[in-house]
Amino acid sequence: MVLKVIGIAGSLRTGSYNRGLLRAAKALAPDGMEIEIAEIASFPLFNEDVEAKGTPPDVLELKQRIAAADALLIATPEYNHSVPGVLKNAIDWLSREPDMPLEGKPTAIMGASTGMIGTARSQMHLRIVALAVNMPVLLQPEVYVAVAQKKFDEHGELIDKPTRERVKALLAALMDWTLVLKRGRAGA
């Protein structure tokens, strides 16, 4: 069995450190885990008037991909001590009825920032949003990449060995936890 994980970066910037974290995660995934990186750049700002005319095709497509996946991996930057608007907007769209693929979906969070404390505040705010949409978030290990400009090379690839090890540990924990949750649901 291959565990399918959808990775989402909370940054739209092509050279984003968080996109680099997702690429690293894809390369570092344990045997039996496959990470597919999804895009949220085309999502319109959430608006119930737009929703009333039908869910935008790109939103609908990602909802279907998340529903078919076993888990989520979110790499979030920190903007003004919080979650980037584009990431919150995507969650707003993905959490809408009738099909709510985030509900009950095991999720791991990591993040990179050029600041000294990484993305601690952003991740805490994202955990609060996840709670509101019933998206269970893995508690440990935590991956806060501080001073990211020193941990990625000029091509945006993660070169810092301790950070790579923390990402590997996060992925292993996500895999174990997701499998435990799946077994629990199957036995219920």
- The helix (H) or strand (E) run that includes residue 143 is strand 143-145
CATH, range 3-187: 3.40.50.360
pLDDT at 1: 83
Alpha carbon distance 182, 70 (integer Å): 9
Record the tokens describing residue 33, joined without a space.
Answer: 């885990």
Record the tokens describing residue 16, joined without a space.
Answer: 């984003």
pLDDT at 188: 61
Residue 69 CB contacts under 8 Å (≥ 6 apart), including other chains: 4, 5, 6, 36, 105
Per-residue pLDDT of the chain (188 residues; tens, 9 = 90+): 899 999 999 999 989 999 999 999 999 999 999 999 999 999 999 999 999 999 999 999 999 999 999 999 999 999 999 999 999 999 999 999 888 999 999 999 999 999 999 999 999 999 999 999 999 999 999 999 999 999 999 999 999 999 999 999 999 999 999 999 988 777 76
Alpha carbon distance 49, 153 (integer Å): 44
pLDDT at 51: 94
Record the tokens describing residue 172, joined without a space.
Answer: 């292993």
Domain extents in the chain = 3-187
Q: pTM for the full model?
A: 0.96
